[in-house]
Amino acid sequence: MNQNIKRDKWYENRILWRAEQHKLFDKRCLRYVDAPEKVKEVIESCSKYKGIPVLLFFRNSELWTLLTTNEVVSFYDGKLRSGELDLVQKKVKIKRNGSNGSNQSNSVKESEFISLANLGVTVWAPAGSELFALMNILQMFPLNIK
């Protein structure tokens, strides 16, 4: 089997395994293959992503994040941001919301952004358990291929 195909299948398996652990598919996350065609058209019109698309967090055409076997791609504020998974180096943290009078613990719970510190990239995810699940998935990278 081609090394790239083997790698992609291993990454896809690990991403889906971790997503299942977090019960992401009971929430606001889709397996990309299960996304409606209109949603896929939005993603594909905005992004020339690399790898096999695996997970999708989608609020609307202006706010979404796609996790592939090669990269994480996020669209918000009218701009596309992306980072290669193998360069994440497990350096992932919540990007706190700006001060709006709420205490710090609430800003963590209400945050919708994850900073990939090693890449200088910020990605969107729905606040709460989905954000923490995506963080947990991103912290796996880079993976060792077995």
**pLDDT tens for each residue of 36-53:** 999 999 999 998 999 999
**Does the reported pTM lie above 0.85?**
yes
Tokens linked to 34? 């299960």
Q: What total number of domains does the chain contain?
A: 1
Q: Largest Cα–Cα distance in the chain?
A: 55
pLDDT at position 117 over 70: yes
Q: Residue 2 has what pLDDT? A: 79
Tokens linked to 59? 């609020």
Q: Residue 104 has what pLDDT? A: 52
- Asked, for residue 145, whether it belongs to a domain, the answer is no
Q: Residue 64 has what pLDDT? A: 97
- Asked, for residue 91, whether it belongs to a domain, the answer is yes
- Asked, for residue 144, whether it belongs to a domain, the answer is no
- Asked, for residue 21, whether it belongs to a domain, the answer is yes
- Asked, for residue 143, whether it belongs to a domain, the answer is no
- Asked, for residue 146, whether it belongs to a domain, the answer is no
- Asked, for residue 9, whether it belongs to a domain, the answer is yes
- Asked, for residue 49, whether it belongs to a domain, the answer is yes
Query: Which residue would you say has higher pLDDT here, 105 or 111?
Result: 111
CA distances from 75 to 23, 45, 46 (A): 24, 12, 8
Q: Residue 3 has what pLDDT? A: 81
pLDDT at position 81 over 60: yes
Residue 48 domain boundaries = 3-138
